[in-house]
Structure 1
Amino acid sequence: MDYFKLAEKLYDAEKKRSQVGRLTDDFPEMSVEDAYQIQLANVKRRLEQGEKLVGLKIGLTSKAMQELLHVDWPDYGHLFDTMLLTEGEVCHMSELIQPKVEGEITFHINKTLEGPGITIADVYEATDFIMPSIEIVDSRIKDWKIKLPDTIADNGSSARIMCGSNFSRLEDIDMRTTGMILEKNGELINSGAAAEVWGNPVASVACLANMLADFHIPLKAGSLVMAGAFTAAIPVQAGDCVTASFTNMGSATVKFVE
């Protein structure tokens, strides 16, 4: 299995806004570790081409998303500066393939977390603030017909990130009972509680730090960490406006245009 060739296939699909078949159809023996090696090959490629790594995301932390992929363990992906949308900035559908949106809490950490052995207490100590966020996921795999190794290889189906401008102190927010509502064009589409995210989004961040230890990757000080979706992702199209609102944390909004 040529990791770099498979990584290039996914990278080219993203750049050309095209879809490719499942990698696992051609390589049914592909393991989770193989998939992360493919992901890391594209991380290296993007860094070499001048993109900057700004953080990481953990995904498949809610039962809704795990049931969708028939898995019982999270995955993760890398976040780059080219994925960031500033508040008020629109998201261009022409740059994506088949996007969906999720409401999440994003952590900003000011102390490096390097597993194994990272605890919830460590995450509390390392977090300087949290933000309401929308993750825009996208798949380069045709029709979102993915298996776990496919989405891992595809950088956790990452695409864009919109963080709201309201910063909260972690200790001021109940990380289990905080609610989120996801509205599209003013209509309530999804709602959930923070406890859906690995029992507690703080535990989700600790889990990520410990998973990264398998590849000797730290969560570096200054990183953004997306803790996982409260609910299943919803599809969007040009003209849609999506808002994720969080109890006592404010909201994040993104509008989609051609």
Structure 2
Amino acid sequence: MTPQEHAAAAADLLRAERTGQQIGLLTLRHPEISMDDAYAIQSAILAAKLEQGRRVIGWKIGLTSKAMQSALGIDIPDSGILFDDMAFDSGATVPAGRFIQPRIEAEIAFVMGGAVGGEGVTRADVMAATQYVAPAIEILDTRVERRDAASGQPRRIFDTISDNAANAGIVLGRERHPPDSDLRWVGAIVSRNGEVEETGLGAGVLNDPVESVVWLARRMAQYGQSIEPGQVILSGSFIRPVECPPGAEIHADFGPFGSVEIAFAGGARPAPR
């Protein structure tokens, strides 16, 4: 793909986010698309949002479980960018129509006290740079169709990465914990409208959520980026995504680690802004 094609794809994705009208699969439009192309489209989205006045508050890591990687035929995670307008307080209600097809995942968030970066980043580096960890919910959305209606082809990893790794929001729990606990055993019971939908343990995230942040720092180094102080890192989900239609009320119970709640208002999407 050319830089002009990267910019055009980013513009289409931003328009989809603004209007609520999904675009077709980029992998059908550009069969030659590569991982580098997908991250270049994501970078074009980043540049556009910064120009609009948005601020980067962190990063998300996705596709950290074996099940999700197998489903997409890959063997590595992906990553996306958290912007300031994506943050919701625990217990808040998402306005009607804010997202197209929202889903949520339960995750462990790392809040960084120091910078960390470079291809040689180690587990010890990540632990030293982490100020605290907290329970979190990631809100997913898709500005790209999940499946092409004509051919039946599903989204591929390149579609997802281009679409900012399907990232749309973050809900950070109020509890704060030192990073030196064994996060493999931190788990959550996730309910929608009072019924349990998913359960899982931190070990589902690359065997240890800390290793997920190590992977992110090393990947970012390949693109001249690094994790900065104050940023929030969503380390990856240890549950399958839970659909959140209008009226959904989500409660993620992390036991002694804390809890996170988010609701989705009912009603139709407002007119494009």
- TM normalised by structure 2 equals 0.91
Contact between 1:97 and 1:140, CA under 8 Å: does it hold in 2?
yes
Q: Which residue of 2 aligns with 1:199?
A: 207
1:109-258 matched pairs, under 5 angstroms: 109-143=112-146, 145-171=154-180, 173-258=181-266
Identical aligned pairs, as a percentage? 38
SS at the partner of 1:58?
strand
Q: Is there any run of 5+ residues in structure 2 with no aligned partner, and where?
A: 148-153, 267-273
Alpha-carbon RMSD across the aligned residues, in angstroms, is 1.1
Cα separation, 1, equivalents of 2:112 and 2:26: 34
Cα separation, 2, equivalents of 1:179 and 1:88: 20
1:211-246 superposed Cα distances (whole Å, 9 cap, x missing partner): 111101000111100000011111111111111122
Letter in 2 for 1:118: V
Which runs of structure 1 show a deviation greater than 6 angstroms over 4 or more consecutive aligned residues? none
Contact between 2:140 and 2:166, CA under 8 Å: does it hold in 1?
yes
Q: Could you tell me how far 1:143 is from its partner in structure 2?
A: 3.2
Letter in 1 for 2:252: A
Residue 45 of structure 2 is aligned to residue 37 of structure 1: no
Residue 68 of structure 2 is aligned to residue 59 of structure 1: no
Contact between 1:65 and 1:231, CA under 8 Å: does it hold in 2?
no
Q: Is there any run of 5+ residues in structure 1 with no aligned partner, and where?
A: none
Q: Could you tell me how far 1:70 is from its partner in structure 2?
A: 2.3
Cα separation, 1, equivalents of 2:96 and 2:23: 18
Contact between 1:132 and 1:249, CA under 8 Å: does it hold in 2?
yes
Provide the aligned length of Structure 1 versus Structure 2: 257
Cα separation, 1, equivalents of 2:254 and 2:182: 11
Q: Could you tell me how far 1:175 is from its partner in structure 2?
A: 1.3
CA distance 1:253–1:98, change in 2 (3 Å):
same
SS at the partner of 1:176?
helix
Q: Could you tell me how far 1:170 is from its partner in structure 2?
A: 1.3
